[in-house]
């Protein structure tokens, strides 16, 4: 399989590549539009800040490339948030592929610590991405922003409020949690994505 | 519900685990990668590697170790020991570490916390504080692995570190470390309840009950221990079942 990991100005790309290598899957980290367009599957990772990540994508025209992709695409963490319409993080217009808003955990919305760091459970799973994954499985999270629950939600999580732990629209999938660091459950979700 | 985390800590010297270990099923108890994989298998939620190597070659050795760990385990891990600059951090993150832990260097140069947070994100900055309760009843910050006392109070430094961009606090009580008599509940509680970021309690965990106490009474977000896990005085699966029975959110 020809697997591309989108290279741009965001952290955590290495750990996604490492996770794939651990699973015996070869992938290429690239910002080459042709390679991304012709890949069988595309992973869109990210840790960092939304507006600078968007600027980095626009600078290399990858924003347009991503929107036109037809093969399965998996956004992880900030990668998922960038697939959405808008992020409160520095008032950022995102790619607008999944029409939901990304909001910040705050004292008004939740009394818990921000960022959410650690293992939490996902439920109401409804996607092939979660084949053989049990309801209320634990996954690893590190984030201050969340995508609101909507018709595109394919998994929910609760951190003081209910939010979309995963989204799907057409060929685009996004997971808020770090599937590459979520033990056997995470490995299985990556495998499910590769099997789509 | 967000789960309370159980974190084994491995002390590393020249790429090997130091302090004794008592893992009967391991071929080589000194190999940190094998130990790490074993802990991940048992249900550890995260791991911390603390490098105490003093040689000039240490950075290269550590980077190689981090790379091997990252290719073996599928849970997050933190690397600490001797980290001073953003460049030190980049090498470790590029080799697959998820977070770094910084202690004395951050106290001596607090701006480095902000620099690391700005380049790699707050989520990867774990500020380690070694603290000791003095006769005046106050908790003070100690540096250089507990050898140098400062006049700074633990809570003041922790609060400042949060403002500078630290993402988590790893709090070790020198009064409790090695005693197996329980964690420092008072200072852990003060930090946990008053800081907006997670607090990892360390030092003194000797019985399963101590872990329940630090979560239920001191509201720690995570608890770290070393030798009680290495010597199998506490088994992680048993500990997690025990904590779950105490109605704590625990990843089993």
Give B120's pLDDT tier (boundaries 50, 70, 90): confident
A68, with CB counted inside 10 A (0-12, 13-18, 19+), is: exposed
pLDDT at A30: 94
**pLDDT over 70 (residue B175):** yes
Lowest mean pLDDT among A90-94, B163-167, B227-231: B227-231
* Cα separation, B156 vs A27, whole angstroms: 46
Catalytic hit among A89, A143, A157, A180: A180
pLDDT at B40: 96
> In degrees rounded to 5, what are phi and psi of residue B134?
-95, 180
Q: Is B34 on the interface with A (CB under 8 A)?
A: no
How large is the average pLDDT for residues A71-100? 96
B245, with CB counted inside 10 A (0-12, 13-18, 19+), is: exposed
Contacts of A121 in chain B (CB under 8 A): 1
How large is the average pLDDT for residues B181-187? 97
Lowest mean pLDDT among A1-10, B192-201, B204-213: A1-10
How large is the average pLDDT for residues A144-172? 97
Q: Annotated catalytic, A180?
A: yes
* Nearest by CB: A138 against B3, B71, B196: B3
**pLDDT over 80 (residue A134):** yes
Q: Which of B76, B78, B223 to mutate to test the interface with A (most CBs of A within 10 A)?
A: B76
Q: Annotated catalytic, B130?
A: yes
pLDDT at A14: 78
On whether the B5-245 domain is CATH 3.40.50.2300, my answer is no
**pLDDT over 80 (residue B22):** no
Catalytic hit among B88, B130, B177, B213: B130
pLDDT at B24: 59
> What secondary structure does DSSP assign to chain B, as a single string?
-PPPEEEEEEEEETTEE-S----TT-S-TT-HHHHHHHHHHHT-S-EEEEE---STTHHHHHHHHHHHHHHH--S-EEEESS--SHHHHHHHHHTT-SEEEE-HHHHH-THHHHHHHHHH-GGGEEEEEEEEE-TTS-EEEEEGGGTEEEEEEHHHHHHHHHHHT--EEEEEETTTTTT-S---HHHHHHHHHH-SS-EEEES---SHHHHHHHHHTT--SEEEESHHHHTTSS-HHHHHHHHHHTT-----
CA B235 distance to own-chain centroid: 18
* Cα separation, B21 vs B228, whole angstroms: 9
Q: B46 Cβ partners below 8 Å, 6+ apart?
A: B5, B7, B75, B76, B77, B78, B222
Q: How many CB pairs under 8 A join A and B?
A: 79
Mean pLDDT of chain A: 93
Which tokens in the block code for residue B174? 């020198």
Give B98's pLDDT tier (boundaries 50, 70, 90): very high
Q: Annotated catalytic, B51?
A: no
Q: A131 Cβ partners below 8 Å, 6+ apart?
A: A192, A195
Residue closest to A181 by CA, chosen among B222, B40, B63: B40
**pLDDT over 90 (residue A166):** yes
Give B121's pLDDT tier (boundaries 50, 70, 90): confident
* Nearest by CB: A15 against B2, B96, B197: B96
**pLDDT over 60 (residue B20):** no
Nearest-CA distance from A33 to chain B in Å? Answer: 24
Total count of domains within chain A: 1
pLDDT at A122: 98
ipTM: 0.92
pLDDT at B206: 96
pLDDT at B225: 96
Which tokens in the block code for residue B151? 């006049």
Lowest mean pLDDT among A13-17, B179-183, B228-232: A13-17
* Cα separation, B180 vs B183, whole angstroms: 8
Question: Do B74 and A181 make contact, defined as CB atoms within 8 angstroms?
Answer: yes
Task: Count CB-CB contacts under 10 A for residue B221.
Answer: 21
**pLDDT over 90 (residue B45):** yes
Give A108's pLDDT tier (boundaries 50, 70, 90): low
Question: Do B2 and A159 make contact, defined as CB atoms within 8 angstroms?
Answer: yes
Query: Torsion angle, CA of B66/B188/B184/B1, rounded to 10 degrees?
Result: -70
CATH of the domain at A114: 3.40.50.880
**Residue range of the domain that includes A160:** 3-195
pLDDT at B18: 82
Which residue in B has a C-alpha nearest to residue A23's C-alpha? B71
Nearest-CA distance from A47 to chain B in Å? Answer: 8
């Amino acid at each position: 399989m020809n697997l591309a990991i989108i290279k741009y100005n965001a952290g955590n790309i290495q750990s996604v590549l490492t996770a794939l290598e651990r699973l015996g899957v070869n992938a290429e980290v690239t910002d080459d539009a042709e390679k991304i367009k012709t890949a069988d599957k595309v992973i869109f990772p990210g840790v960092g800040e939304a507006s600078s990540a968007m600027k980095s994508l626009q600078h290399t025209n990858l924003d347009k490339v991503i929107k036109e992709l037809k093969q399965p695409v998996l956004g992880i963490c900030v990668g998922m948030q960038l697939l959405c319409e808008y992020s409160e993080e520095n008032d950022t217009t995102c790619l607008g592929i999944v029409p939901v808003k990304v909001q910040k955990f705050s004292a008004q919305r939740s009394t818990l610590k921000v960022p959410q760091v650690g293992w939490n459970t996902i439920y109401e799973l409804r996607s092939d991405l979660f084949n053989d994954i049990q309801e209320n499985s634990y996954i690893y999270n590190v984030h201050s922003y969340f995508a609101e629950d909507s018709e595109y939600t394919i998994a929910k999580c609760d951190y003081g409020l209910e939010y979309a732990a995963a989204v799907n629209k057409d060929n685009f999938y996004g997971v808020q949690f770090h599937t590459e660091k979520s033990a056997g459950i995470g490995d299985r979700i990556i495998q499910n994505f590769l099997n789509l | 519900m967000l789960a309370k985390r159980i974190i084994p800590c491995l002390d590393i010297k020249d790429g090997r685990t130091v302090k004794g270990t008592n893992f009967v099923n391991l071929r080589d108890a000194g190999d940190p990668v094998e130990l790490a994989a074993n802990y991940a298998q048992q249900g550890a939620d995260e791991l911390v590697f603390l490098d105490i190597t003093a040689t000039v070659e240490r950075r290269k050795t550590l980077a190689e170790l981090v790379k091997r760990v990252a290719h073996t385990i599928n849970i997050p891990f933190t690397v600490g020991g001797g980290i001073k600059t953003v460049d030190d951090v980049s090498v470790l993150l590029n080799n697959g570490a998820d977070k770094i832990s910084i202690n004395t260097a951050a106290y001596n140069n607090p701006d480095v916390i902000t620099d690391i947070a700005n380049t790699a994100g707050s989520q990867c900055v774990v500020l380690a504080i070694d603290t000791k309760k003095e006769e005046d009843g106050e908790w003070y910050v100690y540096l250089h692995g507990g050898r140098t006392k400062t006049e700074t109070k633990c809570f003041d430094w922790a609060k400042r570190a949060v403002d500078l961009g630290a993402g988590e606090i790893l709090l070790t009580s020198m009064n409790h470390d090695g005693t197996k008599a329980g964690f420092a509940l008072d200072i852990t509680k003060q930090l946990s309840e008053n800081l907006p970021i997670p607090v990892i309690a360390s030092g003194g965990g000797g019985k399963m009950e101590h872990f329940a106490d630090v979560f239920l009474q001191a509201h720690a977000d995570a608890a770290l221990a070393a030798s009680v896990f290495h010597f199998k005085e506490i088994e992680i699966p048993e500990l997690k079942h025990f904590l779950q029975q105490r109605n704590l959110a625990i990843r089993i």
